[in-house]
Amino acid sequence: MNKTTTYNDLLKYAYNESGLTDGDRTQRAIDGDPLIQGEYNELIQVISQLDVTVPPVSEKCIDNILQFARQ
């Protein structure tokens, strides 16, 4: 990792939290440094493991809430 790009920068970039300028700088760092690129790819690989949709809340539960809201 070079002096100007930290792991925090990569985390923010991965979650679209870098501003325009920082995002551009991070993207150039990823493109220009194989070490940073490797680190970023591993980060993306790990967080993509978390992509799953949780079982939905039951309709009964939603109905109870909306019924309470109407009281």
Partner 1 sequence: MMDDKDLVRLYQQGNQEAITELVHRYKQRIHSTIYFLVKNQELAEDLFQETFIKIISSLRNKAYSEQGKFLPWALRIAHNLVIDHFRKEKLMPLQHDSEEFSVFDVIPANSRNAVDQIIYDEKIATVRNLLERLPYEQREVVILRHYAGLSFKEISKMLDININTALGRMHYAVIKMREMVEKESIRIKE
Burial profile 36-60: b = 16 or more Cβ within 10 angstroms, e = fewer: beebbeeeeeeeeeeeeeeeeeeee
By CB under 8 A, residue 43 contacts partner 1: yes
Contacts to partner 1 from residues 18-37, by CB under 8 A: none
Helices (H) and strands (E) in the chain, counts: 4, 0
Residue whose CB is less far from partner 1, 12 or 33: 12
Residues in the chain: 71
**How many residues belong to the site for partner 1 (CB under 8 A)?**
28
Q: Which residues bind partner 1 (CB under 8 A)?
A: 7-8, 11-12, 15, 17, 42-43, 45-47, 49-50, 52-58, 61-62, 64-66, 68-70
